[in-house]
């Protein structure tokens, strides 16, 4: 009996309930910690862009891709926070004089920045 192309390329099968199932394995991918932004992007891909998610997963590049997305989002988060703090005149002096106002304004800026990053990078 002639070998299939899969077998000629070194592939093997195992039998399960009378069917021959190919022994397929995903390529090894280095484990990298993925932050909150990368995790959110992964959930977005799983839900709304399954083809891209599957292609990245099966090619062994998903973890690297999500790590890069997370790094970009984190850098943009820090940069936008500083820019918005300067634009609104929020200083350490305000923090010592009126900590409640400082906290409220910083929370407002943080929420705005998170929304920007979600819309531009994560989604």
Q: Tell me the pLDDT tens digit for each residue of 88-117.
A: 999 999 999 999 999 999 999 999 999 999
Structural contact between residues 94 and 79, judged by C-beta atoms closer than 8 angstroms:
no
**Mean pLDDT, residues 9-17 taken together:** 84
Is 118 within a domain?
Answer: yes
Is 77 within a domain?
Answer: yes
- DSSP track, 9-39: TT--EEEETTEEEE---PPP-------HHHH
Is 21 within a domain?
Answer: no
Q: What is the pLDDT of residues 55-76, one digit of tens each?
A: 998 888 999 999 999 999 999 9
Query: What domain range includes position 105?
Result: 33-122
Is 72 within a domain?
Answer: yes
**Mean pLDDT, residues 34-61 taken together:** 93
Domain count, the chain: 1
Nearest-Å Rg of the Cα atoms of the chain is 24
Is 53 within a domain?
Answer: yes
pLDDT of 1 reads 66
Is 6 within a domain?
Answer: no
Task: Tell me what percent of the residues of the chain surpass a pLDDT of 90.
Answer: 67
């Amino acid at each position: 009996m002639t070998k299939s192309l899969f077998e000629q390329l070194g592939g093997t099968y195992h039998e399960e309930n009378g069917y021959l199932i190919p022994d397929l394995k995903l390529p090894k991918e280095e484990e990298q910690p993925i932050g909150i932004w990368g995790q959110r992007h992964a959930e977005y891909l799983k839900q709304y862009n399954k083809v891209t998610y599957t292609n990245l997963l099966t090619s062994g590049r998903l973890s690297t891709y999500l790590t890069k997305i997370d790094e970009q989002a984190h850098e943009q988060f820090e940069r936008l926070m500083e820019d918005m703090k300067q634009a609104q005149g929020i200083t350490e002096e305000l923090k010592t004089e009126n900590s409640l106002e400082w906290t409220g304004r910083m929370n407002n800026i943080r929420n705005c920045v998170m929304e920007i990053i979600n819309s531009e990078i994560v989604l």
